[in-house]
Amino acid sequence: MAGPTGEKNWSKKYPSCGGLLQSPIDLHSDILQYDASLTPLQFQGYNVSAEKLLNLTNDGHSVRLNLNSDMYIQGLQPHQYRAEQLHLHWGNRNDPHGSEHTVSGKHFAAELHIVHYNSDLYPDFSTASDKSEGLAVLAVLIEIGSINPSYDKIFSHLQRVKYKGQQALIPGFNIEELLPESPGEYYRYEGSLTTPPCYPTVLWTVFRNPVQISQDQLLALETALYFTHMDDPSPKEMVNNFRQVQKFDERLVYISFRQGIILSVTLAGVLGISIVLAVSIWLFRRKKSISSFLAVLTLDTAWRVHVLRSDLDLGYPRAFA
């Protein structure tokens, strides 16, 4: 997002955008810490009946699906967070690397955010958005692969909301189908909204495993929408609607999975065992070589003594080679 309204200028109007605890971030091994208390989340009310219509809108930043008030997540102790909306971030057809979060510097094709607010402490999203412990966002990394029928339940309606301000009602579906396999494996950190006003009030859950959508599905997302209104004389395609990675500010990212840690320990253990084994074999061979040498030396000495005795018995003079 470049130009006078681009992210480099956000902080002029929205001071929080230039402050601390900003998102997104790069998730890399140096900042990860395993936390055994991070248990799988429970998704309540996510399976929305097709008879219940959901509002899909082009809000001028992304395509947004407003969610039912009876959808919430449990497991973000000690509070319950109620769903507000979901939206996506993506790149463009020539550079399909539009995820906001990166993993060890790697961008994914796109990213889905499901936004919730703390319904235990605050009456609605607007009230919660700038408050402590106000928001919680689930982030799904998206890569190119097989076609994903669940995402088509949104993408098939994009042409109905091409321009800013346009809205459409679409049938409800199981929102949980948009999540990856093994949703119990995730990154957790404290950050911010990734669009103005960038309030640093978000508890982020970034799922470790990406979901796949097809190349055609991604292309539909990259080419269907506009930042501008239908009657704007200079229409602007909605592309590259992702924020750049932000400074980490000495935060920690907690992870619910231990595979990387176990792998490191296992590799270290295997390496250690290999070194011990190699040294043991070397010592064994060395010991064996010394033993063989001593055995040969003993036999040679015994033979020489035997020959000497024989020579003496026969009256030959003493001689050694």
Supply the residues annotated as catalytic.
61
The answer to whether 225 and 158 have CB atoms below 8 angstroms apart is yes
> What number of other Cβ atoms are within 10 A of residue 11's Cβ?
15
Best CA proximity match to 99, nearest among 223, 206, 253:
206
The values of phi and psi at residue 81, to 5°, are -120, 125
The DSSP bridge partners found for residue 43 are: 73
Best CA proximity match to 131, nearest among 89, 40, 193:
193
Residue type, position 287, single letter: K
Helix H or strand E encompassing 91: none
E-assigned strands of the chain?
Answer: 26-27, 32-34, 42-44, 53-58, 63-66, 72-74, 81-90, 102-103, 110-118, 135-144, 167-171, 186-191, 202-207, 211-213, 253-255
Which SS3 state, helix, strand or coil, does residue 253 take?
Answer: strand
